[in-house]
Chain A
Amino acid sequence: MNPQSAIPNAPRRTSPQSPEPLILAFCCHYCAYAAADLAGSMRLQYPANVRLLRLPCTGRVEVNYLLAAFERGADAVIVAGCLEGGCHFQEGNLRARRRVERAKGLLREIGIEPERLEMFNLSSAEGGRFAEIVTEMNERVKHLGLSPMKPDAQSIQAAMREMTHEADERIASEPSGRARGSAHAK
């Protein structure tokens, strides 16, 4: 494992030569995402190998998102929603918890440690708790090792090349930035 991963605020870019653990966090806009923001404002340290995905509610999380994250090489996945009873959509976080449980069952069937996936509840005021959650999951990954689904360095490079190529093609096919900018300005 890359020792860099354990250092808080390590450089964000991962080196294709030595994959470092990657933690994906599905964060509800109303709590976990705001808590992450607060953690930043409070200058709290937490592992830099976490990537946040903002959702309007954890109720948006489907089992296939969770499995797709592991299929693409995430070493751990966090689903972080509001405190139980505090969901802005009444029961999105309760549904998310049940889906997380189902996904854990599937991970077990697949042969991946279900501990790599966890649901947490916190409020937007809990910047410290957010840092704790990420640290806890990072410790779990250190203990379990990299995900067996982790793509090797070669396939990461190939995927990066493909992404760059796709982005180039998309940019080439779009109308020029200036034209769009002026259209927006009107």
Chain B
Amino acid sequence: MIVADRKKVPEIRDMISKHTKVLLVGCGTCVTVCLAGGEREIGILGSALRMALRLAGHADVAVDECTIERQCEDAFIDILAQRATQYDAIVSFGCGAGVQALAERFPNTAVYPGLNTQFIGILESQGVWTEKCSGCGNCRLGEFAGICPITRCAKRLFNGPCAGSRDGKCEVDADLDCAWQLIYDRSKALGILDNFDAIAEPQDWSTGLDGGPRKVVREDQHIAGLGPKA
């Protein structure tokens, strides 16, 4: 899932203080699970922002809250469309995709991010999320025993480890597991250490972000001419 955390109250306050009616929009999917932008967090932030605005002399800015199931799909934004016309600004508490989906849908309304979108990751333990995938567009996990060297090795080595691997920890940060130690241990357990006799091929980065935003099209599902609603 997408993992995010919230922006500080003063930053959001300053983004919206010039507006008169602001709607905070939460998202009920990834960011609810990572406790950043769901219904409960929106309630907390709504209270906090109203107080912060009042203290900064902007008591006239009205702040309301609502949460939709998923911000990154236009169909779910429908439920909000009518209400949104009453506001001159929206703060999205979805990931960066959610913010942009709202901005596309409401061309005449200012849309601001309430969260800092961090990464694609997993819940490691209660209250702790860790990054697992960088969305490289050409997944190589099969070669590396299911552990991503692009995301989890600080140097993105395809033929690791480097000489800085110490007692299973990465030289870049002693709190970080060395991805290559993990790859080695798991490969040993799976009996596939032979895989590493050959040099791993360099990555084909043409599938990555460098050529601009990517697009996935499913020809059998795609209906030509049907774009997002305005």
Contact = CB atoms under 8 A, between A and B. Distances in A.
Interface of A: 62-64, 67-68, 70-71, 106, 109-112, 148-149
Q: By DSSP majority rule, is chain B's interface helix, strand, loop, or mixed? A: helix
Contacts of A63: 44
Contacts of A111: 51-52, 55-56
Contacts of A112: 51, 55
Interface of B: 8-10, 40, 43-44, 47-48, 50-52, 54-56
Give the 5 A-B residue pairs with the shortest CB-CB distance, closest first: A67-B47, A109-B9, A64-B43, A110-B52, A111-B55
A70 B40 contact: no
A64 B8 CA distance: 16
Given A148-B55, A149-B54, A110 B48 contact: yes
A174 to B, nearest CB: 29
Contacts of A106: 9, 44, 48
A160 B187 CA distance: 70
A182 B17 CA distance: 55
Best-surrounded residue of A70, A106, A112, A149 (most CB of chain B within 10 A): A106
B99 to A, nearest CB: 21
Contacts of A68: 47
Given A62-B40, A106-B9, A109-B9, A71 B47 contact: yes
Contacts of B10: 109
